[in-house]
A and B are shown apart, each in its own frame.
Chain A
Amino acid sequence: MAKPKIAFFDFASCEGDQLQIANLEERLLDILGHVEVVSFREVVTGHSDDYDVAFVEGSITRPEDEARLKEIRKNAKILVALGACATIGGINCLKNFQAENVYREEVYGAQARWFSTYSARPLKSVVKVDAEIHGCPIDPNEFARMTKELLQGRTPWIPDFPVCVECKQAGNVCRYEMGRMCLGIITRAGCKAACVTEGAHCWGCRGLAPGANLDAARIVMDRAGSDRKATQDLLRFFLGDTGAAL
């Protein structure tokens, strides 16, 4: 059987997710033994439009990005969104809360009109996405597991419960017990509560968990003493394209 052909693409992003894949090191060579990489611009010269699986990183931020993404969709049997910018719009959506002329002029001054841009959005608002690998950045282990499942023809599994479950397993003290804010209560798990374990709090980079109760979350945050501005800051950090952001 011919090896499946895979390709990597990116739109507005930091390319940190492709770096996470490069950081699999020796294990990357194992995976590469089972696939044929036809396009991975960050690491390999050469490119082909003949591929089965397309991994796409980054958000759509310009009208002209849509045509390119639709072309990728047409060529690929399976399109996988890679990382928060691609799955939920992520940090790029922060600019969506400012007027377009304001953020353009903030950066480009008088020349602002030279450059096209519109509200940042995830891939799924433009094309059908077959699988999503969440996170900012993605977890390389989850990438390896999900890619394996994809190659076996299965639908990759992703957790449908909130980060709190994994955070308890990691043995962390709840941030709310410490008088701090945390989005673990509404965010999809799968990261093993990485940020909380490192001393920070959950920022929501993996998107909302299915059935997340936003009203209850708001009450929890209010009761913990978060003012409206702080809650808004946190909900806009990654979740700007979801209904969660104020």
Chain B
Amino acid sequence: MFRILEKGLLAPRVNRYVVHAPQVARSWRAGQFVIVRPREDSERIPLTIADGSAETVTLVVQEVGKTTAVMADMQAGERLADLCGPLGVPAKIEKVGGVAVVGGGVGIAPAYPIAQAHKTFGNHVIAILGARTRELLIMEEEMRRASHETVIVTDDGSRGEKGFVTTALQRLLDLGRTIDEVVAVGPAVMMKMVAALTRDAGIPTRVSLNTIMIDGTGMCGGCRVAVGGRTKFVCVDGPEFDGHQVDFDLMMRRQAMYLDHERGTYEDYLETRRCRLDATREPSRR
């Protein structure tokens, strides 16, 4: 169970894993996630299901701290200690007409099955993919297949247009394109900016939140956010919410809660990784 069947690098520090998990593969829907513990002593971390087959799920993981680093050092053939899911409420896919699916950074991975589902459902899908720079842009090919049109933007203009996803979205609106719904998945700031833009334009907007989680089953409340002034649990009530109702500032503060703490463990881990690499590069020098 949970054997990594394939692993590949998509961008610097972003890996794609195909994991054997038949019981999750059977029933997952776009928008759902799993909780993973890479190794026995690891933290539990949430990761979105980016794709699947009859017996596998695909995860796209960006290395940002110790747990994702431990995962980055695992290879095809190894097993994850735990993979639990599919969790959360599936993305709401309805026939609305024109849908803009906005993916930023690794958020493109979870946006992919949502775009695919909208296309299958008969909506006209415009994908807007954003990345800091060209080498960080992932899954462009897949997204092109999952949408009718694809717009690419990078912060530095090294690929596609220069600017942010909001620049591209604004331009589409200025051109009078039919956009009846927007789905945004990516860093919290990006989702906040997209929601601010579409609020003014009056376009319903769904965002997929990525708070810190522990159990992922509604038991701890650690993932809570304020939506429309009410407390919601992202793991069971979400992860998808009405972007115009989410208190993003609160969410971002909660996301950063353990920042200082975690930095230390990550740095320690990077240090041991360097030692390990040195050891393999320079065998038997003593």
The answer to whether A and B assemble together is no
Q: Footprint of B on A, CB under 8 Å?
A: none
- Interface on B for A, CB 8 Å cutoff? none
